[in-house]
A and B are shown apart, each in its own frame.
Chain A
Amino acid sequence: MGNITLKQVTKHFGETVVIPPLDLSIEDGEFVVFVGPSGCGKSTLLRLIAGLEDVTSGLVEIDGADATTLPPAKRKLAMVFQSYALYPHMSVRKNIAFPLKMADMDPAEITRKVEGAASVLNLTDYMERRPGQLSGGQRQRVAIGRAIVREPEAFLFDEPLSNLDAALRVNMRLEITELHQSLKTTMIYVTHDQVEAMTMADKIVVLQAGNIEQVGSPMELYHKPANVFVGGFIGSPKMNIITGPEAEKLGSHTIGIRPEHTMVSKEQGTWKGKVGVSEHLGSDTFLRVHVEGMDLFTVRAEGDVDLHHGDEVYLTPVMDRLHRFDKDGLAVR
């Protein structure tokens, strides 16, 4: 069983408070993503769970038992690091076998498990190579292999895809998601990329400055962001945030409108503006529109819409998709 509970956990580095008191519970088998801008404390939170950092106060429970002071090795967790942290002097085979060897497992059993993991991860042909002779994607797979042979209660991933190129990142994203579906083990995944969070998570934890801003499924966060920060962070391109008189007219201090919830017309609409940059992606077109009294406004239009730099357009928000926030930035429901 891999449920993890944090109760009133805090972390200070000297005088600096990295994590103010925080509660979180993660259910067995869940894929949880910690997401937030860099420096928001998401990696620290993961390392607290891993036991690589000591909590300043509070409780970490793994599997219902108090694990607050347990050393990392005893927590039955496996971690995949951003740099992969492969042992450079060991072959792929030895890297994957290392945790089993540390557990004094029977050599025949080790071989069986290592071979098993290697074939799942397509590493069979590279078993005798050193990490230095592998590509980024292969190293990533070795790191995952080293984690899965232990059959841990939960996997911890610390920005595992940030060192890969864009195409490989998409592939590995799918592989990790599939791995989760076949293993059904708890996974905690740290990233600053909201696309990874949206596509992989069962549950997203949005963090800012050590605080949890919102916890929920990807769709909950998308449809019902708890505050301006979450609204702006989840969704691509970013939600348009409107304040001032135009927002007052719509009955709130701050209004959030997603680009995909705005209609564009050449003839009429609520706001009149001028097209700045237009990005034609084929499937969609993103228009950056200058509207008087507002910041640059992003709208999504059809892929073959015939609008270009300098054209005059009218924008109309879809009224039931508006997000209303009060002056503290909290959602008004």
Chain B
Amino acid sequence: MARAVTNQRKLVVTVIAWSIGIAIFFPILWTFLTSFKTEAEAIASPPSFLFFEWTTENYTEVQSRSNYPLHFMNSVIISLGSTVLGLLIAIPAAWSMAFVPGKRTKDVLMWMLSTKMLPPVGVLIPIYLIFRDTGLLDTRTALVIVLTLINLPIIVWMLYTYFKEIPGEILEAARMDGATLWSEVIYVLTPMAVPGIASTLLLNVILAWNEAFWTLNLTAAKAAPLTAFIASYSSPEGLFYAKLSAASTMAIAPIVILGWFSQKQLVRGLTFGAVK
């Protein structure tokens, strides 16, 4: 039984936890606030926290001076594309490993995980040259292919842990109830698997959106997603804090919000079901 906790103790814990929480969140909050300042106010000393003149001109500025919509669309297409492609390859694989396990199933899974151990620099040059010679450098296609492959092991593992949890007795019950293989898949398996597939999709979109080795090395301008677009601010342009903040806010907002919804799946997904 949970014990009654004194309110005093609870208050102390609350204050400490909130302070730490806000401290950890502060850089994001500060970026968000700065994005509404003028450039002068953004570097003012002492800095103003909330009492400044709020303006949205940085957002319009970023939109008009750079090709923000293009990079945003690149991010969307690359992360969604690689995830969907990955799912199409991984669903049958995870499905058969979960429901028709063989002697080697565990080994295959471990091997897939071990491919994640291969450092990307080990294959950077050939991949770069292959894409250069096939004219795929700086294309969305190249990034979709690469991100599909690097995230495939995680997708397979996540789906496998979800499918594994569908109890075999339910499938047997459906068989006893006269369901054909087709109706078993449509009425029983799919509805039970959809939540798992959805969270796998969510987590992998997040991972692909934030991937910053291949996206930086394989793109220049045309196919650059937001990771690469933001990196271009590391030049002296970065000294325009308010604009940097506006661009950053736009780049991270969708994914931070998606991420909040997927915390639980994140734990399961990235730990391959080892921590629940």
Contacts and interface: CB of A to CB of B under 8 A. Distances in A.
A133 B192 CA distance: 17
B179 interface: yes
A102 interface: yes
B187 A98 contact: yes
Given A88-B192, A89-B192, A83 B176 contact: no
Contact of A103 (B172, B173, B178, B191): B178
B67 interface: no
A287 to B, nearest CB: 39
Contacts of B177: 73, 78, 98-99, 102, 146, 150
Nearest to B171: A85
Contacts of B170: 85-88
B178 A102 contact: yes
Nearest to A102: B178
A73 B174 CA distance: 9
Q: Interface residues of B: mostly helix, strand, loop or mixed? A: helix
A72 B176 contact: yes
Contacts of A150: 177-178
Interface string A86-104: 1111100000001100110
A71 interface: yes
Given A52-B176, A98-B177, A146-B177, A85 B192 contact: no
B179 A102 contact: yes
B188 interface: yes
A102 to B, nearest CB: 4
B56 interface: no
B175 A73 contact: yes
Interface in B127-182: 167, 169-170, 172-180
Contacts of A71: 175
A77 B176 contact: yes
Contacts of B191: 87, 89-90
A129 to B, nearest CB: 17
B172 A81 contact: yes
B19 interface: no
Contacts of A103: 178
Contact of A85 (B167, B183, B187): B167
A79 interface: yes
Nearest to A98: B177
Nearest to B194: A89
Contacts of A87: 170, 173-174, 187-188, 191-192
Given A52-B172, A82-B169, A85-B169, A73 B178 contact: yes
Nearest to B173: A85
A78 B68 CA distance: 61
Interface string A49-76: 0101000000000000000000111000
Contacts of B178: 73, 99, 102-103, 150
A102 B177 CA distance: 7
A35 B188 CA distance: 32
Contacts of B173: 79, 81, 85-87, 146
Interface of A: 50, 52, 71-73, 77-79, 81-83, 85-90, 98-99, 102-103, 146, 150
21 contacts: A52-B172, A72-B176, A78-B176, A79-B172, A79-B176, A81-B173, A83-B169, A85-B167, A85-B169, A85-B170, A87-B173, A87-B187, A87-B188, A87-B192, A89-B191, A98-B179, A98-B187, A99-B178, A102-B178, A102-B180, A146-B177
Name the 5 nearest CB pairs between A and B, nearest first: A99-B177, A85-B173, A73-B178, A85-B169, A102-B178
